[in-house]
Structure 1
Amino acid sequence: MEQILDPLKYGETTVWTKQKVESAIGFVLKRIDQNLDTFSLKFPAPASRGNIYEPIENTEWTSSFWTGMLWLAYEVSGDDKYQMAAEKQLKSYKKRVDQRIATETHDLGFLYSLSCIASYKLTGNEEAKQTAIAAADLLMERYFEKAGIIQAWGKLDNPSQRGRMIVDCCMNLPLLYWASEETGDSKYYHAAQSHARQSAKYLIREDTSTFHTYYMDVESGEPLYGRTAQGYADDSCWSRGQTWAMYGLPLSYVYTKDSYLLHDAVRVTNYYLNRLPEDYVCYWDLIFTEGEEEKDSSAAAISVCGMLELAKHLPLSHSNRRIYENAALRILDSLTENYTTKSLPHSNGILKHAVYGKPLGNGVNECCIWGDYYYLEALVRVLKDWEMYW
């Protein structure tokens, strides 16, 4: 079922001048500059406390969002200090792969696309390339061929995690597609394509909302059931999960050209847009469309990148192409005007009012480092024709 969009809500063009984009990027660069010393050899915690990120070692799934911001800052400014700062961190990514430090996760895609692949694409760093291929090999260990999925978390024989895929993994697949291109080995491509197909088939419900997680029987390959770990309920729709699908499905299309991926991206995007409040920034679960629940600015930032990428691949005649572009710019405008930390000079974050994990009370109404990254990526996408790290 494909939901119909209200053209009056998103049909009018929102204008972003070059001056406005550069001003917004300028604020982000100032924040990055303030953080260069603190996060030189360490990384921001996934979520802030009191809107301040604490420095941690390279052990979380979120480390690369800071490194990725450094690469984006280098791209838009041309300032070598950002390249030097990013390259200084690459040793920790190599160490993490070599010593298997906190690598029992599908989030190797996040970690190595925004750090090592970005480095290789921008500077030709050969060691970064080899490190990213090693990360892809680790990710392949999590692939169950009969079920056609990559297990999300934990040890592969853990009964509580065995056969669990989650919607976030749509964003981890580009690491495998890239590894296939670089090595000429199709095994990475086939695993990624299979996981994308299974995600579209089982994570997207009939009403075009998404499950956060879904279990597969890895011995028989049979589908089991959907659950949530982050959303309000098993049958609700966790906002950030929906936006991972909105962005991740078009990314798989870039590599596979499987048309159903664009069709499904349109479906999940329409569901999302039909549930936004007046200021266009979603609540932490899409079951909420008004009231006192927390917003999730980080999910909103992801959605902007997803819609801008999706629109690029739709035919000019597609009725929703312009709507997605306009909706993305409206959300970005709302984030810029109402959700940055400009009014919080003590903060070292960029986007306030994000939510990490509401059910566990983790990072609620705080800055989340992925939200900061995707906000900057969205601005870069508006500024220029950006070559993705994904």
Structure 2
Amino acid sequence: MKIIKLVLIIPFLLLSCKNKEANTEKKSAIDIQLEAVEKQLSLLLDKAVEENRIPRTTNKDGSIYWAPLKFDWTEGFFPGTCWYLYEVTKDEKWKNGAEQFQKLIESHKTITSNHDLGFIFNCSFGNGYRLTKNKTFKEVLIASGNSLITRFNEKVGCIQSWDVGPNHRWRFPVIIDNMMNLELLFELTELTGDTKYKDIAIIHADTTMKYHFRDNYSSYHVIDYDPETGEVRNRNTAQGFSDDSSWARGQAWGLYGYTVCYRYTKDEKYLEQAQKIANYIINSMPEDGIPYWDYNAPDIPNEKRDVSAAAIATSALIELGCYTGESYMSFINKSIKALGSEAYSAKFGENNNFALMHSVGSIPHNAEVDVPLNYADYYYVEALLRLKSLE
């Protein structure tokens, strides 16, 4: 989820954090990677425009898996990527594509049965509004935020993630991913002046900080609460190796989420939390900066990597470093170099024209294992734009 204001808040925000490591060679490398991504994703854009569908990943038979038209939590990422590429290229085809795909998802702004509205609408309409100031986009953002906050429970102090039936083992599950939906709420307070959005975001972030994290600042994936009392019932996983393991993408979501919380509140506790999560992630990474799908998976180094987790964490670290004065550039440079390498970036015209290879959706569900994912590409492009803004 992100308006990333940062991408263009960043030229302003980052005047004080220009990094001397970003030399001419580094700048050239970023431009080369951006050009390669834009060239590759242009092919995917053409196909998506023709089909009038939003690409999510690749099917097992090698064909493109299109996000279901009814609803899909990833449906905001490809239009968001189009906005980012419009931002950097000024090519109208990206703007036109983003607007076309947004028409497919606009009606979902009133859905109240899902917590992913922040991901969906902040990435797409949020970036679109940031770049165009289209008032219709703002109205969609407000409507989606109003739908999202219907899932907030005051007793728990969180926005509920998944809806569950009466016979399910969980009663009020909250996943670490939900931290990514808060940016929409913070931004809505900025856009409307109504503090109710920010207030809910802060309460959710504080509750998550209290119950989701272990002593080493790794996080559980799922915390199940009692909706009547707010007490913790279970600490589990859905997509990680085990309840007590550290699912890699979940750690990245937490890092990104608390970095965003600091951006909007300037509350030092969020900055400290983000730094501690960052230290855990960096210290747990393989040498090339691309994590295994779970930091505690049993067969490392033979486990699958999750490129999406690397892209998310790298983008977050770029922003975090601008607030802390602490240079994460050594790790960032390593990760960005790896993401742009032949090991993880697809050759032109291959990989169904997604930019990155080797992401993991959910190994426990045998779903989207070692495939491209639209959100991996989104955060990769975002990270590249953030680095470019530092030059």
Please give the TM-score of this superposition, normalised by the length of structure 1. 0.88
In structure 1, the partner of 2:67 is 56
- Counterpart Cα distance in 2 of 1:330 and 1:287: 22
The reply to whether residue 171 of structure 1 matches residue 180 of structure 2 is: yes
- Counterpart Cα distance in 2 of 1:258 and 1:207: 21
In structure 1, the partner of 2:296 is 287
* Match of residue 311, structure 1, among 321, 330, 338: 321
Q: Which residue type is aligned with residue 286 of structure 1?
A: Y
TM alignment of 1:249-264, pairs within 5 A: 249-264=258-273
Assess if the C-alpha contact under 8 Å between 1:231 and 1:237 holds in 2: yes
* Match of residue 296, structure 1, among 306, 321, 336: 306
The reply to whether residue 197 of structure 1 matches residue 206 of structure 2 is: yes
- Counterpart Cα distance in 1 of 2:58 and 2:225: 30
- Counterpart Cα distance in 2 of 1:122 and 1:68: 11
- Judged with a 3 Å threshold, the aligned counterparts in structure 2 of structure 1 residues 183 and 162 are, in CA distance, closer, same or farther, namely farther
* Match of residue 363, structure 2, among 334, 358, 375: 358
Assess if the C-alpha contact under 8 Å between 1:14 and 1:330 holds in 2: no
- Judged with a 3 Å threshold, the aligned counterparts in structure 2 of structure 1 residues 35 and 344 are, in CA distance, closer, same or farther, namely closer
TM alignment of 1:1-390, pairs within 5 A: 17-40=26-49, 41-46=52-57, 48-49=59-60, 52-58=63-69, 59-98=71-110, 100=111, 103-154=112-163, 160-288=169-297, 290-314=300-324, 316=325, 321-322=326-327, 324-337=328-341, 338-342=343-347, 345=350, 347-384=352-389
How far off its partner does 1:92 sit?
2.2
Where structure 2 has 5 or more consecutive residues not aligned to the other structure, the ranges are 1-19
- Counterpart Cα distance in 2 of 1:83 and 1:60: 22
- Judged with a 3 Å threshold, the aligned counterparts in structure 2 of structure 1 residues 257 and 157 are, in CA distance, closer, same or farther, namely farther
- Counterpart Cα distance in 2 of 1:343 and 1:78: 22
Moved over 4 A (4+): 12-16, 155-161
- Counterpart Cα distance in 1 of 2:214 and 2:78: 33
- Counterpart Cα distance in 2 of 1:176 and 1:156: 27
Please give the TM-score of this superposition, normalised by the length of structure 2. 0.88
Where structure 1 has 5 or more consecutive residues not aligned to the other structure, the ranges are 1-11
Larger mean Cα displacement after TM superposition, 366-375 or 54-63: 54-63
Give the SS at the match of 2:64. coil
Assess if the C-alpha contact under 8 Å between 1:48 and 1:367 holds in 2: no
Query: Percent identity of the aligned residues?
Result: 34
Assess if the C-alpha contact under 8 Å between 1:46 and 1:60 holds in 2: no
- Counterpart Cα distance in 2 of 1:44 and 1:239: 23
Assess if the C-alpha contact under 8 Å between 2:290 and 2:338 holds in 1: yes
Give the SS at the match of 1:277. coil
- Counterpart Cα distance in 1 of 2:67 and 2:173: 28
- Counterpart Cα distance in 2 of 1:76 and 1:327: 24
- Counterpart Cα distance in 1 of 2:82 and 2:129: 14
* 1:200-232 alpha-carbon deviations (Å, 9 max, x no partner): 111111121110111122211222221000000
- Counterpart Cα distance in 2 of 1:258 and 1:50: 48
Larger mean Cα displacement after TM superposition, 163-172 or 70-79: 163-172
Q: Which residue type is aligned with residue 122 of structure 1?
A: L
How far off its partner does 1:121 sit?
1.0
In structure 1, the partner of 2:3 is none
